[in-house]
Structure 1
Amino acid sequence: MATAVEQKRAHGGHSHHHHDNSYLTSSNKNDAGVRITRIGLYVNLASAIVKGIGGIVFHSQALTADAVHSLTDLISDVLTLATVSLALKPPTPRFPLGYGKIESLGSLGVSSLLLAGGILMGFSSCLELCQIYLPEVAHALEAVGLGHAHGHSHAIPDMNAAWLAGGSVLVKEWLYRATLKVAKERKSSVLESNAVHHRVDSLTGIAALLSIAMSNIYPAFSGMDAVGGLLISWLVIRAGWSNTKTSLVELADAGIDDEIKGKVQRAAEKAIETLQLSSNGGSGGVRDVEVKKVQGVKAGQSYLLELEVAVPGEWSVDRTGEVEDVVRRRIGEKVRGARRVRIRFLPQESGNDFVEEFISPSVSARSSPEPEEEHDHAHDHSQTNGDSHGSSNDPSNGNGVTRRK
């Protein structure tokens, strides 16, 4: 079963599918897909470090913000490597639904950190703009400890920062073309998605390059670098908030989207079609089996799926078990990330639904038979003890429980 599952990420106002880079966990280093994916990971690491140091040394808000942006995918890849083996561990009595939510928790933590980092970078860019165009506001913020004084020379970044940004654009563009070439050869949607991501990263690098160059070529627009940093920070904040919401929704057990439901439905129906339950396909045969409903939740990389399948009421357990095995196998082969498939069989004439499995709010512990049985047992035990002592006049609290003197 494939272990990768698509996750929709937003970058720079562009939406694309970003996968969990399952190639990173492969031991086949000679595979072209594994090689180019790991090269991408190393480039993200080097890019984040170089641009981060360059942004500080050359006083470029845009370059520093772009370094933070590079961290988004780097940390995502590292998180995958750190959690993929744990998240795919088999279920245990303590975690009967598996460990997939651990990855969702990790994603929430990392997304929150990136969101906070983007906000801090954006605030730093705003301070830089205030020092240039609104010094009174900058002094007021400094008075309350929100910022510190900079000379106006710091507002114009060193031109060397532009060379770093330009180099990043060239490397990312090369990665885009190299990854896309392998993706087309392998017909891999995972690699194609990663290629598109490299292209989006190069666009943020271009934004940093232009803002740095404009600040140096036209000193009157000395705030352009800070504006570029503010723009890139907003892109990081947007992506971080999007991923934070996705993680929260996963942890809240929101249902899977219609696209996944459709894939599961088609896989189940195809499995039923290919299953020869009877020689003539007539009454009581495959034509009488219907997939009524599909639902499920996402846990990290995994989908925990539930299906309602209607069958003739006279069918035996063995016959429904045959359908269950074939449907589960087919879904596992055709739906990437399907980890658990639970099938609920209903008679054709039944109008029940998954909602019927929930206990009605009118049912409470008070109406459950267990407390009454315990109460009756205690009552009988106290009466037996009272009878064995021959004491019918012992004080009682009226509930069949003898009070101690």
Structure 2
Amino acid sequence: MKKIMLMLKNGNKSAFIAACVNGIIAILKGIAYFMTGNVAMFAETLHSLGDAANQFFVFIGSALSKKAPTERFPEGFGRLVNLVLLGAVLIVGIMSYETIKEGFHHILHPTESTGIIINITVLLAAVLLESFVLFKAMKEVVKEVNIEAKGAAAVIVKSFSGLRRAKPATKLVFMEDMVATGGGLLAIIAILLAYFTPFKQAEGGASVFIGLGMFYVVGRVFLENAAGALGEADIDMRMKIGSLVMNDPEVRDIQKLAVIKEGENFHVELEIELDAHITIAEADIIKDRLIAAIFKERGVTDVIIEFDENDGISKWEERIRSDLNERDKKK
């Protein structure tokens, strides 16, 4: 039991906070829906319920991914968080379908809902809470990618530019709560339109748009974590480690450098060229020096270094140009 608690302590804190907050919000929205029968509130209830379940699984997965390697799994459990996220998006996908289906039903057969004060009060409280969680996720993104941001405005702006390089769990919380905050505001507008104008279909339309927003998150999370589960190369970290290695006075060139992202961790495989006169003892010192330097990079958990004789042909500069082109294409 103690080992489990220690593992959970290392889980993604943003996901845990988001799961707790969205669980409370889902209960409040559910009560409001049963009291008023408002279809936009139904969509928001499913949205928050799906987010809470999703983020709880993310927290568990991120904690279990920190488990040390075993004889059966010598490579460790880094990719477990990707597999958990792939399973978690199925929950959100089902919730998205139900939300869109109910929205279309209300557009075709609009009904007048009651309890506008209850609905607006609950949704305003939900938007405030979800905004709080979203801002926490933004701060976590900035922290994870080592971006300096002073003040709330800087955190908000710079978190979007750093989102691509954030940990999978943090990225999921960010996207889900961004859609949740926007969905809450959309639901408020739809309820006010349906109440003060003849446009009763507004609530159904909001439900459809909220469901589509959830589907967008499902698609993004699925594609990114499918790549992570397979073992995706991290271009930015590869360039960073490559520059670090090339700055060593004894390294002449890099023949091969692979930086594989495994969940929140990085696995590094490196083949470098040294001068022919370097002895085994000297090469061993160089290896220890490079491993120590690479392990200082955030998230690196495994480093393998091999040596080869310098052939006088520069390969790393060509690789840098290739990496820059590939990164520009992704942008």
Task: Name the SS of the counterpart of 1:100 in structure 2.
Answer: coil
Which one of 335, 344, 347 corresponds to residue 309 of structure 2? 347
Residue 50 of structure 1 and its aligned partner are, at CA, apart by 1.6
Which one of 185, 198, 208 corresponds to residue 206 of structure 1? 185
Deviations 1:104-154 (A, max 9, x none): 21111001221222122112211221224xxxxxxxxxxxxxxxxxxx34x
The one-letter code of the counterpart of 2:209 is L
**Does residue 337 of the first structure (1) align with residue 299 of the second (2)?**
yes
* Residue correspondence of structure 1 range 372-383 to structure 2 within 5 A: none
- The equivalent residue for 2:167 is none
**Does residue 25 of the first structure (1) align with residue 9 of the second (2)?**
yes
The one-letter code of the counterpart of 1:316 is T
1: CA distance between counterparts of 2:220 and 2:148? 20
**Does residue 113 of the first structure (1) align with residue 91 of the second (2)?**
yes
1: CA distance between counterparts of 2:74 and 2:144? 36
**Does residue 164 of the first structure (1) align with residue 122 of the second (2)?**
yes
The one-letter code of the counterpart of 1:212 is I
- The equivalent residue for 1:229 is 207
The one-letter code of the counterpart of 1:158 is G
Residue 206 of structure 1 and its aligned partner are, at CA, apart by 0.9
Of stretches 323-332 and 183-192 in structure 1, the one that deviates more from structure 2 is: 183-192
2: CA distance between counterparts of 1:183 and 1:109? 23
2: CA distance between counterparts of 1:321 and 1:57? 71
Checking the alignment, whether the CA contact within 8 Å between 2:127 and 2:181 is kept in structure 1 is: yes
- The equivalent residue for 1:367 is none
Deviations 1:175-223 (A, max 9, x none): 66788799999997699557976666433211111111111111x2101
Cα distance change on mapping 1:59 and 1:269 into 2, 3 Å = farther
The one-letter code of the counterpart of 2:38 is S
Of stretches 308-317 and 171-180 in structure 1, the one that deviates more from structure 2 is: 171-180
Task: Name the SS of the counterpart of 1:339 in structure 2.
Answer: strand
Root-mean-square deviation (CA, aligned residues, Å) is 3.8
Residue 234 of structure 1 and its aligned partner are, at CA, apart by 0.6
Residue 158 of structure 1 and its aligned partner are, at CA, apart by 3.5
The one-letter code of the counterpart of 1:341 is V
Q: Which runs of 5+ in 2 are unaligned?
A: 1-7, 150-154, 160-169, 316-331
- The equivalent residue for 1:305 is 268
Residue 40 of structure 1 and its aligned partner are, at CA, apart by 4.9
2: CA distance between counterparts of 1:81 and 1:234? 25
1: CA distance between counterparts of 2:265 and 2:36? 44
1: CA distance between counterparts of 2:71 and 2:267? 17
Deviations 1:79-119 (A, max 9, x none): 24323343122222321211122222111100122122212
Which structure: greater helix fraction?
2
2: CA distance between counterparts of 1:91 and 1:185? 27
- The equivalent residue for 1:326 is 289
Which one of 71, 76, 100 corresponds to residue 78 of structure 2? 100
Residue 327 of structure 1 and its aligned partner are, at CA, apart by 2.0
Cα distance change on mapping 1:40 and 1:212 into 2, 3 Å = same
Checking the alignment, whether the CA contact within 8 Å between 1:115 and 1:241 is kept in structure 2 is: no
Deviations 1:282-317 (A, max 9, x none): xxxx25433344323222221222222111234333
Checking the alignment, whether the CA contact within 8 Å between 2:54 and 2:92 is kept in structure 1 is: no
**Does residue 253 of the first structure (1) align with residue 231 of the second (2)?**
yes
Residue 341 of structure 1 and its aligned partner are, at CA, apart by 1.5
2: CA distance between counterparts of 1:200 and 1:91? 36
The one-letter code of the counterpart of 2:181 is S
Cα distance change on mapping 1:110 and 1:352 into 2, 3 Å = farther
Cα distance change on mapping 1:58 and 1:331 into 2, 3 Å = farther
* Residue correspondence of structure 1 range 174-213 to structure 2 within 5 A: 192=155, 193=159, 201-213=180-192
Task: Name the SS of the counterpart of 2:278 in structure 1.
Answer: coil
1: CA distance between counterparts of 2:308 and 2:144? 42
2: CA distance between counterparts of 1:190 and 1:119? 40
Checking the alignment, whether the CA contact within 8 Å between 2:258 and 2:268 is kept in structure 1 is: yes
2: CA distance between counterparts of 1:298 and 1:162? 43
Checking the alignment, whether the CA contact within 8 Å between 2:16 and 2:59 is kept in structure 1 is: no
Checking the alignment, whether the CA contact within 8 Å between 1:118 and 1:233 is kept in structure 2 is: yes
The one-letter code of the counterpart of 1:332 is F
Q: Which runs of 5+ in 1 are unaligned?
A: 1-23, 28-33, 133-151, 273-285, 354-405
- The equivalent residue for 1:380 is none
Residue 241 of structure 1 and its aligned partner are, at CA, apart by 1.5
